[in-house]
C-alpha cells in the first residue's frame, strides 16, 4: 500500500465534515455538490446566490493553496476527450437522477443514516469499482 496516505486523508476528511456541518448550522443546507451545481445552472432555479459562492469557495481553495506555495496537481485525465465527455454526461445525468453524489449521499446522507443514501452510495461505488476493474485489468491489461 505504497500510495496510502492515512494522515492527510483523515485531516482532509475532517475538513470536509466541518464544511458540511457549518453549512447546516449557518444556512440550514445539505452540502451536496450535485444539488449546489444543478441549482446554480438550471434555468428554472431561483436561489443561486449561496450556490454560486459555494462553488467559488471550492475553486478558490486550490488557488489559495498555490499562493501558499503548494504545487497544484494537474489532474490526470484520459487522453480521449470522447471518454471524458461521456463520463461527464453520465455523472451529470446520473447524479441528478439519483439526487446526489459522493458528498450529498456519500457523506451528508450516510451521516443522517438515510437508507436511501446508503443504498445510492453502495451502488455508485460498486458500479465504479466494476468499471475500473474492466478498464484497467480486462481492457487495459
Partner 1 sequence: MRALASLVCGFVFGWGLFISGMIRPDKVLGFLDVLAIPSGNWDPSLAVVMAAALAVTFAGYALARRRTPVFESANQWPTQTAIDRSLVGGSVLFGVGWGLVGLCPGPAIENLASLSPGVVIFVIAMAVGTIGHDFWYARSVPAEQALVQAADG
CA distances from 24 to 19, 29, 36, 125 (A): 9, 5, 14, 26
Q: Kindly tell me which of 69 and 100 has the beta carbon lying closer to partner 1.
A: 100
What gap in Å lies between CA 115 and CA 140, rounded to an integer?
35
Nearest approach, Cβ of 48 to partner 1 (angstroms)? 10
Environment class of 40 (CB within 10 Å of its CB; exposed 0-12, middle 13-18, buried 19+): middle
DSSP 3: T
Distance CA 11, CA 21 (A): 15
Least Cβ distance, residue 69 to partner 1 (angstroms): 13
Query: Residue 67 CB, nearest distance to partner 1 (Å)?
Result: 11
Nearer to partner 1, 55 or 69 (CB): 55
User: C-alpha cell of 66?
Assistant: 498555490
Closest separation in Å from C-beta 136 to partner 1: 6
Nearer to partner 1, 69 or 97 (CB): 97
Amino acid at each position: 500500500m505504497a500510495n496510502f496516505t492515512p494522515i492527510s486523508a483523515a485531516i482532509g476528511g475532517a475538513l470536509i465534515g466541518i464544511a458540511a456541518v457549518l453549512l447546516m448550522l449557518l444556512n440550514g443546507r445539505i452540502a451536496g455538490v450535485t444539488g449546489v451545481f444543478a441549482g446554480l445552472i438550471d434555468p428554472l432555479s431561483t436561489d443561486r446566490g449561496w450556490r454560486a459562492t459555494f462553488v467559488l469557495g471550492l475553486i478558490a481553495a486550490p488557488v489559495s493553496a498555490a499562493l501558499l506555495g503548494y504545487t497544484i496537481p494537474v489532474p490526470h485525465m484520459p487522453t480521449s476527450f470522447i471518454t471524458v465527455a461521456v463520463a461527464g454526461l453520465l455523472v451529470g445525468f446520473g447524479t441528478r437522477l439519483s439526487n446526489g453524489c459522493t458528498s450529498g449521499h456519500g457523506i451528508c446522507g450516510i451521516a443522517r443514516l438515510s437508507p436511501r443514501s446508503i443504498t445510492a452510495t453502495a451502488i455508485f461505488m460498486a458500479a465504479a469499482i466494476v468499471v475500473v476493474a474492466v478498464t484497467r485489468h480486462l481492457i487495459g491489461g
